[in-house]
Amino acid sequence: MMKAVLGLEDGTVISGTGFGAEGTACGELVFTTQFTGYEEALTDPSYKGQILMFTYPLIGNYGVSGERFQSDNIHAEGLVVRETCKNPYHYKSTRCIHKFLEDEGKPGIEGVDSRMLTIRTRERGTMRAALITGNDDGEEAVSVARNFPQITDEELISLVTCKEPRFIPGSDGTWKGSSKRKHAVVVDLGIKRNIINNLHKRGIDLTIVPATTKITEIASYEPDLLIVSNGPGDPEKAIEAINAVKAFAGTIPICGICFGHQIISLAMEARTYKLKFGHRGGNQPVKDLVENKVFITSQNHGYAVDADSLDGTGLYESYINANDKTVEGVFHKNLDIFSVQFHPEAQAGPMDTEEMFFSKVVKVLGGEI
């Protein structure tokens, strides 16, 4: 048994039992409503700078296999749950979630009232937090939380982007179309592996480049498509990516997912803003305004595009969140530019959003769906 405490910037102190590594984690406390997928969530680079809390009370019951990782390591700063499973059962499991966090040097806390914390976050908005394992000094935790920078002031992209370009050839024999296989440059702002896998299996050659890659270098790859990935933090800090979208708009197709959706919108002179508590989980309803359909989607974002700011940009809403009417996707009236706020590759139950988005990618490249 290890002592642990969670302190919020509003003075809230929650004591619990620590697991994982001993130490201190700081960041925004955010909640996700997903029941499963903790391997995917913890290794999602978009959670950099955040302490992740699951609203579902029991986490870890099928263990950790490593097959669903979205990056090489955990990016969430810490984990908050009501209860963890210490003896998981699954034929692919190689370790429990306690060991997973310990191996990654990340602290966790259980035995907390996650329902109360979720309600408080929804009422007051996302707050800075400090998670300390190894002691239960609540005053220290609150002080650390209050002195930690706001996520709007942090530059997180450099912590999750790739260090150098890498080439990934598309899967052999899967490109369908009269033209030769196409090549996409992907600006890596913290890309999830499932996005890469979905592009690869459709036969698209990929060059993954760092977030700070210059426009001239991107042009040297002679891409047929520019893709802007998901990532953490404030989209206004992705200056090079915004400039890249501006430079290639109208010359080649451009698409984006989540953070990439926000960056494309900023590049076309729209505005973004920070949501009160964000959208995170696998049950977010999104309405397709063109087809008049509703999809259940996976999401992880704390910023959104200002719908009113789209006027005069050439961008139009293609999807909206059925709960709060926020912008969930845009397309350009005259250019091959489109993006979605949700994660089409995440397969939050049905696979229809995957086919919807990636089929459109193939189509703009001249391939057959």
Give tens-digit pLDDT for 64-120.
Answer: 999 999 999 999 999 999 999 999 999 999 999 999 999 999 999 999 999 999 999
Residue ranges matching CATH 3.40.50.880 in the chain: 157-364
Query: How remote is the C-alpha of 107 from its chain's centroid?
Result: 21
- Round to whole Å and give the CA distance between 24 and 21: 9
Beta bridge partners of 200: none
Check whether 244 has a pLDDT greater than 90. yes
Helices 239-248 and 259-267 meet at what angle, rounded to 10?
Answer: 60
Given pLDDT bands bounded at 50, 70 and 90, which one contains residue 1? confident
Rounded mean pLDDT of 170-178? 86
Among 115, 104, 138, which residue's Cα sits nearest to residue 19? 104
Residue ranges matching CATH 3.50.30.20 in the chain: 2-153
284 and 298 Cβ atoms separated by less than 8 Å: yes
Give residue 68's pLDDT. 94
Give residue 174's pLDDT. 87
Rounded mean pLDDT of 261-282? 97
Q: Which of 128-142, 164-178, 268-282 has the lowest mean pLDDT?
A: 164-178
The residue with greater pLDDT, 348 or 325, is: 325
Give residue 180's pLDDT. 86
- Specify the CATH class of 2-153 in words: alpha beta
Is the alpha carbon torsion for 76, 78, 84, 85 positive or negative? positive
Q: What is the pLDDT of residues 70-80, one digit of tens each?
A: 999 999 999 99
Rounded mean pLDDT of 264-269? 98
Give residue 350's pLDDT. 66
Give residue 173's pLDDT. 85
28 and 301 Cβ atoms separated by less than 8 Å: no
Q: What's the whole-number average pLDDT of the chain?
A: 96
Q: What is the pLDDT of residues 278-318, one digit of tens each?
A: 999 999 999 999 999 999 999 999 999 999 999 999 999 99
- Round to whole Å and give the CA distance between 50 and 18: 18
> Which residues touch 170 (CB under 8 Å, ≥6 apart)?
181, 199, 200, 202, 203, 204, 205, 206
May I ask the CATH architecture of the domain 157-364?
Answer: 3-Layer(aba) Sandwich (3.40)
Check whether 347 has a pLDDT greater than 80. no
Check whether 348 has a pLDDT greater than 70. no
Active site residue ranges: 258, 343, 345
Among 160, 132, 148, 125, which residue's Cα sits nearest to residue 46? 160
Q: What is the pLDDT of residues 126-157, one digit of tens each?
A: 999 999 999 999 999 999 999 999 988 999 99
Give the amino acid at 88: P
Given pLDDT bands bounded at 50, 70 and 90, which one contains residue 23? very high
Rounded mean pLDDT of 33-58? 97
Give residue 366's pLDDT. 92
